[in-house]
Amino acid sequence: VPVSHIRNFSIIAHIDHGKSTLADRLLLQTKTVSDRDMKAQFLDTMDLERERGITIKLQAARMAYDASDGNQYVLNLIDTPGHVDFSYEVSRSLAACEGALLVVDASQGVEAQTLANVYLALEHDLEIIPVLNKIDLPGAEPDRIKQEIEDIIGLDCGNAILASAKQGIGIDEILEAIVYLVPPPQETVERPLRALIFDSYYDSYRGVIVYFRVMDGTLRRGDRVQLMASGKEYDIDELGVLSPMQIQVEDLHAGEVGYLAASIKAVEDARVGDTITLVKPAAPEPLPGYVEAKPMVFCGLFPTDADQFEDLRDALEKLRLSDAALQYDPETSSAMGFGFRCGFLGLLHMEIVQERLEREYNLDLITTAPSVIYWVTTIDGDVIEIDNPCNLPSPQEREKIEEPYVRIEMLTPEEFVGPLMELSQSRRGDFKDMKYLAQGRTSLVYEIPLAEVVTDFFDQMKSRSRGYASMEYHLVGYRENPLVRLDILINGEPVDPLATIVHRDKAYYVGKALVEKLKELIPRHQFKIPLQAAIGSRVISSESIPALRKDVLSKCYGGDISRKKKLLQKQAKGKKRLKAIGTVDVPQEAFMAVLRL
Ligand code: GTP
């Protein structure tokens, strides 16, 4: 295919605005996929994604389109994940494109994450085509939303396309706009090979399958290639395009999008953002923008049943083959026994991994509350990274603690500005900016400790704005704060996975709320259980769980067998997620109590 007949584009959209539905439509319209083969939401392959209705991993599809000018074009759609945890992957897939469809729900308008991704696209000089989706809905207000896009993004909406992905309206217009508005790739086939990896996944037969865009030069089957960041070398066993099923080809030239297999053992050897070049001749420079995705959120994972420790290790090893951003190290806790300290890109990533471990590997896990990475300067002047509150050096051994801050932008209707400011301030946020963007859209910007965001910030934002506000955040750096470690003692014993790092001024409040919450969450036992919150040796709050007086069954008078059975079943179910700490059974929810104060 001549470069002039290639168009590479992605779709930028907020969750639920219809990206997957539109992608399906484009595949159908171009007969890339037949109606019969079209399962709902073709591009979202993972079950989990389908269930949650969100796009986690990005993929690609190549379509052949007969345009009205009589020529056939190759359109490569590169899908992007719609969540802030994966914004680095979004940036790499945008770097592989010359254009993007900006899909906005015509009954909803622009959301914070969309805005962040549009700015990324503009940074990469992409041609952006606004598409107002869901115009079939009675509540659709395309004119108002067009104005909103113009006001907020400054994008000309004169040619915005009105569409309904669901009913198939505007699909031809979108395909034509891609051909006429998105520029073709540059003619750089004469240069040494450089291909940008924008996604990869692990296949147990062929090894890692790498998705890439050839930026310069040509890649052929059998070529010996080098990955410039990882430094590894491979022979290409298989080369192909995604239509969207894998179809093998002999070579791919600058401008094209495809996949390769080269017996690569783990995705960390072929990371998103890395540059593929030939061993000979090698490109002098890699493509710009490579960053090793670093975990930002950490938690402990412990099997409820100590016998499952090895199974958990195997499962993490397997997951890691397909998820380079997942980190894990063995951890021993006096209270919990053997487990792992795991690092994730963000909360969603954390939830996905936990769910996969439990569902695909059949493990019963206790998860401890998420923590961030603190920088601690010791009195010797060393700076150490602490991702687990129980490893925090004592006040005598440390000089200062710094914690990560994020810049958070919320878009909200005016009426919720007050409640959201209150929320941000209560989470130690520093107010930075407030702007009226358009009717129903005020932007609120705060700089706020990441530790305060990884708790229930998102849920609180949603509930305080009745679901209308949206947010986006990114790391801005580390700042010193007077932080202390708050320990929790159950039955007189410190329980390390319940330890948290909190601001000194909030310690008393958090300690009190935490023991009160634990009192609710930990079931009664045959004996009285004291609960305490302490900073160092100073107890700042205490409560106790009274002893159990009657056994459960005594409530069932006489011989109501079925009721007894039900109660016992209920108990057995509850038992699954208990961890015995000393003589006290602590339920999973208790380890997350700090998130729900
Ligand atoms: P993520 O995968 O989370 O990014 O969501 P998405 O943007 O891909 O949204 P998806 O295509 O899954 O659509 C979300 C919901 O909106 C689904 O219930 C669709 O059926 C519905 N939907 C999509 N397009 C239209 C449309 O044009 N009109 C109407 N009425 N509903 C639509």
Q: Ligand 1: which of 15, 20, 174 to mutate, judged by most atoms within 8 Å of the beta carbon?
A: 20
| Residue owning the nearest CA to atom 19 of ligand 1 | 18
- CA of 108 from ligand 1 middle (Å) equals 12
CA 56, 17, 159, 135 torsion-angle sign: positive
DSSP three-state, residue 479: strand
Q: What is the Å distance from ligand 1's center to 78 Cα?
A: 18
CB atoms within 10 A of CB 575: 12
pLDDT of residue 562: 61
Q: How much distance in Å is there from the Cα of 513 to the middle of ligand 1?
A: 40
ipTM over 0.95: yes
123-128 long-range contacts (CB < 8 A, ≥24 apart) are: 124/91, 124/94, 124/95, 124/97, 126/94, 126/97, 126/98, 126/99, 126/100, 127/98, 127/99, 127/100, 127/181, 127/182, 127/183, 128/12, 128/99, 128/100, 128/101, 128/102, 128/155
Q: With CA atoms as reference, report the closest residue to 112 among 10, 15, 9.
A: 15
- What is the C-alpha to C-alpha distance for residues 433 and 540, in angstroms, rounded to an integer? 37
> Is the C-beta atom of 481 inside 6 A of ligand 1?
no
User: Quick check: CB of 45 below 6 Å from ligand 1?
Assistant: no
Q: What is the pTM of this model?
A: 0.82
Does 17 contact ligand 1 (Cβ within 6 A)? yes
pLDDT by residue for the chain (597 residues), tens digit each? 899 999 999 999 988 899 988 998 998 999 888 776 665 544 445 555 444 444 434 478 999 999 999 999 999 999 887 666 777 888 899 999 999 999 999 999 898 888 888 988 999 999 999 999 999 999 999 999 999 999 989 999 998 999 999 999 999 999 999 999 999 999 999 999 999 999 888 888 899 999 999 999 999 999 999 999 989 999 999 999 998 788 999 999 999 999 999 999 988 899 889 999 999 999 999 999 888 878 889 999 998 888 899 999 999 998 888 788 899 999 988 778 899 999 998 888 888 898 889 888 888 888 888 899 999 999 999 999 999 998 999 999 999 999 999 999 999 999 999 999 999 999 999 999 999 988 888 999 999 999 999 888 888 998 999 988 988 888 999 999 999 999 999 998 888 888 999 999 999 999 999 999 999 888 888 889 999 999 988 999 999 999 877 555 555 455 555 655 555 555 554 445 677 777 888 888 888 887 777
Ligand 1 pocket residue status of 19, Cβ below 6 Å: yes
Distance 320 CA to ligand 1 centre (A): 31
Any atom of ligand 1 within 6 Å of the Cβ of 53: yes
- 82 CB near ligand 1 (under 6 Å): yes
pLDDT score of 54 = 42
Q: What is the CA radius of gyration of the chain?
A: 27
At residue 194, the pLDDT reads: 97
- Point out the ligand 1 atom lying closest to the alpha carbon of residue 55: 2
Q: Is there a contact between 403 and 478 (Cβ–Cβ < 8 Å)?
A: yes
How many angstroms separate the Cα of 519 from the Cα of each of 455, 459, 495?
20, 24, 15
pLDDT number for residue 571: 52
Taking the centre of ligand 1 as the mean of its atom positions, its distance from the CA of residue 537, in whole angstroms, is 55
